[in-house]
């Protein structure tokens, strides 16, 4: 049975091969790369050794084949993944700028990715799930997908499991104000939140990270794992704060790094590790995720992550 369950958008990504080429101009592309925040997290967790299930929808097309092949190869339970005739698999087009920012165009609301429904959640997945990981992007794509995310989270929570939320703000899909609103039902039952700095401010209404984290903790969240990119991460709990230092890499593609961090942190908690240990592991996995082109191409096996940590002079203990 799957320990970690993710639900939401499965899509392929087409990426500019050179920086500073706008999406509206002719230029070269690389892809299709399997993608979608909850699918990336599922891939990362599975490759790190967890038992994982993914619930989503793809089209009956070659891009759908691409996604299914990858998820199945990673050993993910895909019994909640369905294919739909008459809908194209979701697509994201991404351009990178020299300052590190990205520009997206999403074909999602009218794609197969948006057709996820609560009815496709297999009962056997609920029986074994200890963690339900929800993405703000998934809550933003369509009402049907949003209700499916709520249904999964409520069921896992009711059975004594842990609900985690990555706000994963995508203003291309939904306004920031609306994203805050649709995240609230998950926040109400979430044990863990994985925000970036801007996302923490959006959810909490506080500009300072410490104040924002404390605001979420007062609402009942037990762990706020603040992702700070090249500056590492900070873990906030009622018991105190843990600053986790970063790992140094040469960045190739940052897409999916946050999803991989989430997955690694949940894997650590599922195995009973301390917060500090899970944070170090998650930082390493998130850093490695940036070293390859393509969101799921940056997911690594556990032995590769441990070797990387040792090479950086901080072996995993």
Residue 178 has a pLDDT of: 83
Q: What is the distance between the alpha carbons of residues 42 and 85, in angstroms, rounded to a whole number?
A: 24
Cα–chain-centroid distance for residue 50? 15
CB 235 within 8 A of CB 225: yes
Q: What are phi and psi of 235, to 5 degrees?
A: -105, 120
What integer is the mean pLDDT of 54-58?
98
* Least-confidence region, from 17-26, 43-52, 111-120: 17-26
- Asked whether residue 310 carries a pLDDT value surpassing 70, the answer given is yes
Residue-averaged pLDDT of the chain: 94
Least confident among 21-30, 45-54, 219-228: 21-30
Which tens digits make up the pLDDT trace of 234-291? 999 999 999 999 999 999 888 899 999 999 999 999 999 999 999 999 999 999 999 9
Give the model's pLDDT for residue 307: 96
Does residue 171 register a pLDDT over 70?
no
Dig out the tokens for 253 from the structure: 């593609």
Whats the size of the chain, residue-wise?
Answer: 317
Say whether the peptide bond before residue 32 is cis (omega within 30 degrees of 0): yes
pLDDT at residue 316 is higher than 80: no
The span from the CA of 282 to the CA of 264, in Å, is: 5
> pTM score, two decimals?
0.94
What are the chain's domains?
4-309 (3.40.1190.20)
How many whole angstroms separate alpha carbon 203 and alpha carbon 181?
9
Share of the chain above pLDDT 90, in %: 81
| Token pair for 27 | 């230029």
**13: preceding bond cis by omega (within 30 degrees):** no
pLDDT of residue 174: 65
Identity of the highest mean pLDDT range in 105-109, 205-209, 299-303: 299-303
The more confident residue out of 316 and 196 is: 196
Q: Which residues contact 208 (CB under 8 A, 6 or more apart)?
A: none
Question: pLDDT tens across 185-227, in order?
Answer: 999 999 999 999 888 988 888 889 999 999 999 999 999 999 9
Q: Where are the alpha helices (DSSP H) in 74-196?
A: 123-128, 136-141, 143-158, 176-187
In this predicted structure, what is the pLDDT of residue 202? 85
Confidence at residue 173, expressed as pLDDT on a 0 to 100 scale? 65
Determine which of 37-41, 117-121, 150-154, 203-207 has the lowest per-residue pLDDT on average: 203-207
121 three-class SS: coil
Contact 282, 45 (CB under 8 A): no
Single out the residue of 30, 47, 31 nearest to residue 39, CA to CA. 47
Distances (CA, A) of 102 to 172, 301, 312: 12, 27, 28
Looking at the predicted structure, is the pLDDT value of residue 2 above 90?
no
């Amino acid at each position: 049975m799957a320990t970690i369950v993710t639900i939401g958008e499965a899509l392929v990504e087409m990426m500019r091969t050179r920086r500073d080429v706008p999406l509206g101009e002719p230029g070269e592309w690389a892809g299709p790369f399997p993608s979608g925040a909850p699918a990336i997290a599922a891939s990362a967790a599975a490759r790190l050794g967890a038992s994982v299930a993914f619930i989503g929808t793809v089209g009956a097309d070659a891009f759908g084949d691409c996604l299914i092949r990858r998820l199945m190869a990673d050993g993910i339970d895909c019994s909640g993944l369905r294919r739909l005739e008459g809908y194209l698999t979701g697509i994201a087009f991404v351009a990178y700028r020299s300052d590190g920012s990205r520009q997206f165009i999403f074909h999602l609301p009218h794609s197969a990715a948006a057709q996820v429904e609560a009815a496709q959640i297999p009962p056997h997945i609920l029986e074994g799930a200890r963690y339900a990981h929800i993405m703000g992007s998934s809550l933003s794509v369509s009402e049907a997908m949003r209700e499916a995310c709520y249904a999964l989270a409520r069921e896992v929570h009711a059975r004594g499991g842990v609900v985690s939320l990555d706000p994963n703000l995508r203003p291309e899909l939904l306004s920031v104000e609306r994203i805050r609103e649709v995240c609230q039902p998950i926040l109400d039952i979430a044990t863990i939140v994985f925000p970036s700095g801007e996302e923490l401010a959006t959810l909490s209404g506080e500009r300072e990270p410490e104040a924002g984290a404390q605001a979420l903790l007062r609402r009942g969240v037990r762990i706020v794992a603040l992702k700070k990119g090249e500056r590492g991460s900070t873990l906030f709990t009622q018991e105190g704060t843990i600053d986790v230092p970063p790992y140094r890499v040469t960045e190739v593609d940052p897409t999916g790094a946050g999803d991989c961090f989430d997955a690694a942190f949940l894997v650590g908690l599922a195995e009973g590790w301390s917060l500090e240990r899970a944070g170090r592991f998650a930082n390493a996995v998130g850093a490695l995720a940036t070293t390859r082109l393509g969101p799921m191409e940056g997911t690594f096996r556990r032995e590769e992550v441990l070797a990387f940590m040792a090479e950086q002079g901080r072996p995993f203990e």
